[in-house]
Amino acid sequence: MLLPCEVAVRSLVPALRSAIARELTQTHGLKQKDVARLLGVTQTAVSKYTRHVRGTVLKIEEVEEVQPTIKEIVVSLANGGMSKYELVTKFCVACEIIRQKGLMCELCKLSDPTIDVQQCFVCHSGTHFCAAEIKK
């Protein structure tokens, strides 16, 4: 069984990067190589994100509750005002929103068909921790 965070790395993180990459290239006119540097990925990955080849398992643009977080990331990155640590924290915030909405359940089920999503409480329990909750 994959942990929910592992499922998020395979599906949610690419979906977030895809939405952010599209906004940065289309709305803010950044070049793919610049977006790649900001997101810590390759230019090839940005190309795949913007062409909807990668990051399509979860239709993040349809999740209204996460849009303010995505917009905040995009604007901050476009204006050069977000450190990599702040970016990680915002990704964790977006992940928390998605998990609390129950949108990870079907993705977890795809990774392990034996999971009973009606019995699973992991994402809804509020007891999981991520980088957004760790303070140094």
Q: Is residue 24 part of a domain?
A: yes
* Sign of the alpha-carbon torsion through 39, 60, 63, 3: negative
Is residue 131 in a domain? no
Residues spanned by the domain of 111:
4-126
Residue that wins the pLDDT comparison between 133 and 99: 99
- 30 falls within a domain: yes
Band (47; pLDDT cuts 50, 70, 90): very high
As a whole-number percent, the residues of the chain with pLDDT over 90 amount to 46
Rounded to an integer, what distance in angstroms lies between the CA atom of residue 132 and that of residue 23? Answer: 23
Share of the chain above pLDDT 70, in %: 90
Total number of domains constituting the chain: 1
Q: Is the pLDDT of residue 35 over 90?
A: yes
Highest mean pLDDT among 54-58, 65-69, 105-109, 132-136: 65-69
In a domain, 89, yes or no: yes
Inform me whether the pLDDT recorded for 7 exceeds 90.
no
